[in-house]
Amino acid sequence: MPVIDNALYDHVAGTWWEKDGFMALLRVSVNPARVLYAQEVLKKTGRDPKKLQILDVGCGGGLMSKPLAQMGGIVTGVDLSLPTLEAARAHAKGQNLSIDYRVGDAQSLPFQDASVDVAVCCDVLEHVTDMPRVMSEVSRVLRPGGLFVFDTINRTWQSKLVAIKAAQDWPPTRFIPRDMHVWDMFVRPEELSRALLKSHLLPREMTGLSPAASPFVSAFTILRRKAGLISYQRMGELLPLKKSLDMSVSYMGYAEKSHFAACAAPQQGVSASTAALNLSPEALLAEALLGESP
């Protein structure tokens, strides 16, 4: 099995906010749809960003942290890549944004139990070795009723063709570094749903994140980029992603932390969040189906 190269983010850290840097593709093509979706979810669930403590898990260069801070949220971003965090801090300073960027591991978040209102985790779950552990940590730091917004890549033959073969393996079409993604680490929606429920995060919605352009336009645009005729930024502008019903390659969604977590009576020496993990799956499923706590 190929080994994912998460260290490559250290080497491309300077490109997060460059016009023709490699990360311009992520910033221009993928991120706008993510931001629109986060805004939609916040509005749908009646949350005012100006009153929220928001944690960006695996924040990278701050692609989600920045718009969330611009909405008025009190934003903290955590990431393992020091060069990437330096780029994020420099950009926030240049934009006069107050964002607290910290070194942190998604599988062991350096935050107290029930300390944040919203957690976002974009382009991260397909990079971690223990996705259920990340769900557990997100649940631990969220307050009961807190919101978790995410996106990731599905493990299907379509994602192997598009995200692995075409994007990073085949010389005529590849435009991202080799081993940036490993297909076996992609996450199927049902796997994520199980991990969410096990950690008392109640799935409310999952929806597709797909190209707005046709396959022909997408292929032609990639070839133009390969020939050096357009920049990464222009490629992203021509190939924006959008919310869709097609979850075969990428998808996004949100979940809410169970209110039962607030009712769990911890045993001596056990935190409330840990005690909440002893709640019955039946109770969690009932709350998920009802869409509210009893």
In this predicted model, what pLDDT tens digit does every residue of 190-217 receive, in sequence order? 999 999 999 999 999 999 999 999 999 9
pLDDT score for 264: 45
d(CA 60, CA 276): 31
Residue 253's H or E segment, with its range, is strand 250-257
Average pLDDT over residues 10-14: 82
Neighbours of 172 (CB within 10 A): 8
In this predicted model, what pLDDT tens digit does every residue of 226-260 receive, in sequence order? 999 999 999 999 999 999 999 999 999 999 999 87
3-state secondary structure (DSSP) of residue 134: helix
pLDDT score for 213: 94
Instruction: Tell whether the model's pLDDT for residue 172 goes beyond 80.
Output: yes
Quickly state the pLDDT bin for 286 (edges 50, 70, 90). Answer: low
Instruction: Tell whether the model's pLDDT for residue 288 goes beyond 60.
Output: no
pLDDT score for 184: 96
In this predicted model, what pLDDT tens digit does every residue of 46-96 receive, in sequence order? 999 998 999 999 999 999 999 999 999 999 999 999 999 999 999 999 999
Q: What is the dihedral of CA 242, 202, 139, 131, to 10 degrees?
A: -60
**Verdict on whether the full-model pTM lies above 0.85:** yes
The larger pLDDT score, comparing residue 128 to residue 277, is at: 128
pLDDT score for 276: 40
d(CA 78, CA 85): 8
What are the residue ranges spanned by the domains of the chain?
8-290
In this predicted model, what pLDDT tens digit does every residue of 115-160 receive, in sequence order? 999 999 999 999 999 999 999 999 999 999 999 999 999 999 999 9
Task: State CA 292 to chain mean position distance.
Answer: 24
Q: What is the CATH number of domain 8-290?
A: 3.40.50.150
Instruction: Tell whether the model's pLDDT for residue 268 goes beyond 50.
Output: no
Where helices occur in the chain by DSSP H, the ranges are: 8-11, 24-25, 31-44, 65-70, 82-94, 131-141, 157-159, 189-198, 215-226, 232-238, 260-263, 272-276, 281-290
Average pLDDT over residues 18-24: 83
